[in-house]
Amino acid sequence: MERSANVEVEGKVRMRAYFIFIAKRAVQLLAVVFFGISAAFFITHLSPIDPVQQAILRITSRSSFSPTALVAMREALTEMYGMDQPLGTQFVNFWVRLLQGDLGPSLIAFPTPAMDLVLRALPWTVGLLVTAVIITWLLGNILGGLAGYYQNNKFLKAFGVVAMGLQPIPYYIVAFIVLIIFGFVWPVLPISGGYAMHVTPGWNIDFVMSVIRHATLPALSLVLVGMGLWFLGMRALVSNIITEDYVTYAETAGVDSKKIVGFYVIRNAVIPQLTALAMVLGGIFSGTVITEEVFSYPGLGSLLIQAVNGGDYTLVIAVTAIAITAVAGAIFVVDLLHPILDPRIRVE
């Protein structure tokens, strides 16, 4: 009875400690999001690009206006964009609008709200990024674990050489190579857009298959670069783990090699890789931005490039806010999973 009571008390203490751990991480998450978005606000507002002037140039390129009309237009746009107020007032108003989910109209697609443009592009980036990350992480870790255990396997050795060659190459270089090979030398896949023009968007088989075909090359370029990182990391971890006593004892006891690899080796090596995933998510998102621009993919990357080129700081901040929140949120989730997935980690 006394032992059962002690176990129950210890369980409650651990649960309380875990909730405190969650609260601390949540505060850190909010701080990262706040300072990250605030930095984006000040950087864009201190940019030498004048969004009002850019808007006037776009308008006057289609028709002519008198000097008086141009002055009145500049004053009206400056007031409408809130640029006639002090920077501190603009910052406070920005956060008030952001918490309400409204950042105002996009400057390059006026009067469409900036958040509407972001929400249209977000599913494309999420679909591409999640698919690429899952495939890259699983394949890289599985093949890396096998390569670390079966060190004399010729196929895994050759794959390791390819992984070492691809891993340092920037995303956009691989994207261009993939585009040239499968778009021009061997034209079997579309090289731009999110789906075919003749397909009607909706939950129908033609649209889904068209989306998959158009996403194949962008996803492939992300997978080719990213898989090398996980492969090399897992191979190094497994190479160290196979020298541990529990692995040697299992091999001596005649335990099946497949069980040793799956339950003893890769299972213990995957936790550091999960930590690494949280650390490189920002870099993966940056690679996705560049890859989308190369393939004219209708995601946040292409939208961000258009916003920067057009001086649309409202849209730039909207995309940046979504990106910072998403990456920080993913890292937060991974951080919370550590004590659950690895019993060796204790929450004090």
- Report the distance separating Cα 201 and Cα 79, nearest Å: 39
Work out the pLDDT band at 189, boundaries 50, 70, 90. confident
Residue 59 pLDDT: 67
Work out the pLDDT band at 9, boundaries 50, 70, 90. low
Q: What is the pLDDT of residues 98-125, one digit of tens each?
A: 888 777 777 777 777 888 888 888 888 8
In this predicted model, which residue has the larger pLDDT, 176 or 343? 176
Residue 6 pLDDT: 57
Residue 260 pLDDT: 75
Residue 251: pLDDT over 80: no
Residue 10 pLDDT: 61
Residue 82: pLDDT over 70: no
Taking residues 288-292, what's their average pLDDT? 80
Across 28-32, 246-250, 340-344, which has the greatest mean pLDDT?
28-32
Taking residues 44-64, what's their average pLDDT? 70
In this predicted model, which residue has the larger pLDDT, 25 or 57? 25
The rounded mean pLDDT for the chain is 77
SS3 for 50?
coil
Q: What percent of the chain has pLDDT over 90?
A: 0
Q: Which CATH superfamily is domain 120-314 in?
A: MetI-like (1.10.3720.10)
Residue 58 pLDDT: 67
In this predicted model, which residue has the larger pLDDT, 36 or 82? 36
Residue 259: pLDDT over 80: no
Q: 65 with 73: CB under 8 angstroms? A: yes
Report CA-CA distances (Å) from 334 to 38, 144, 147, 278, 328: 24, 21, 26, 6, 10
With a threshold of 0.95, does the pTM exceed it? Answer: no
State the first-to-last Cα distance of the chain, in angstroms, to the nearest integer: 26
Residue 4 pLDDT: 58
Residue 180 pLDDT: 85
Q: 278 with 175: CB under 8 angstroms? A: no
Work out the pLDDT band at 42, boundaries 50, 70, 90. confident
Residue 63: pLDDT over 70: no
Lowest mean pLDDT among 23-27, 269-273, 339-343: 339-343
Across 12-16, 88-92, 198-202, which has the greatest mean pLDDT?
88-92
Residue 347: pLDDT over 60: no
Residue 282: pLDDT over 60: yes
In this predicted model, which residue has the larger pLDDT, 132 or 9? 132
Taking residues 9-24, what's their average pLDDT? 72
Residue 346: pLDDT over 60: no
In this predicted model, which residue has the larger pLDDT, 180 or 17? 180
Residue 344 pLDDT: 58
In order, the DSSP letters of 207-266 are HHHHHHHHHHHHHHHHHHHHHHHHHHHHHHHHHHHTTSHHHHHHHHTT--HHHIIIIIIH
